[in-house]
Amino acid sequence: MARRSRKDEILQAALACFTEAGVDGTTIEMIRDRSEASIGSLYHHFGNKERIIAALYLAGTAEYAALLEAGFATTDSAEACVKLLVTSYVDWVVANPDWARFVLHSRGRVEAGEQGELLREANREHFQRIFEALSAYREQGLFKDMPADCFASVIIGPTHDFARNWLAGRTHTQLADCRELLAQVAWESVRANP
């Protein structure tokens, strides 16, 4: 997240507060303190607390999507594609642990709020993009046959789960050290049996 504009400073401050006190535990006053903006400024830029949360969420998922997009450009096999989904995610989480923790825990909230439709739209595009990238391989029968939503969970589920635990300080192993293992497992789990 660039550290340039006032808006970004506020978002940065909000994220730090969310990390320390939780989203519900963070008050506007706390964000104001840390961002050194005024309350008026906060409301001028975002309108209300919910929209600060949504903006931070959407920016986070956009970053991961961009990372993925960049990867797709240099990817030319089913295996590389599947592994890319995992490694991009791991890389993003390791590079932005606070942001990742926030995103992982706030989805339901944003989804239920006034910006929910925006999120859902972004999500549809995200999935759409991934399926486009994979559809050719799928038609070639390179993947096990399973429902699309199940397919997604099988690929990314172990990574999500481990990332959650790592971010909560519950693992002995570092997330970065599992990068290849998780990618390999993902590939083996979805590839069609020879």
Q: Which strand (E) or helix (H) includes residue 164?
A: helix 148-167
CA nearest neighbour of 62 among 129, 131, 156, 133:
129
Q: Out of DNA, a copy of itself, none, which partner does residue 15 contact, by CB within 5 to 8 A per kind?
A: none
Binding of a copy of itself by 158 (CB under 8 A): yes
Q: Out of a copy of itself, DNA, none, which partner does residue 129 contact, by CB within 5 to 8 A per kind?
A: none
Size of the site for a copy of itself (CB under 8 A): 36
Cα 29 to Cα 19, 55, 135, 158: the distances in Å are 16, 18, 48, 38
Residues in 45-104 that interact with DNA by CB under 7 A: 45, 47-50
DSSP SS3 for 48: coil
Q: Out of DNA, a copy of itself, none, which partner does residue 150 contact, by CB within 5 to 8 A per kind?
A: a copy of itself
Sign of torsion over alpha carbons 65, 70, 72, 73: positive
Of 141 and 169, the one with the shorter C-beta distance to a copy of itself is 169
Q: Considering only 22-30, 69-77, 116-124, 167-175, which stretch makes contact with DNA by CB under 7 A?
A: 22-30
Closest distance between a copy of itself and the C-beta of residue 171, in Å?
A: 4
CA nearest neighbour of 57 among 115, 121, 131:
115
Binding of a copy of itself by 153 (CB under 8 A): yes
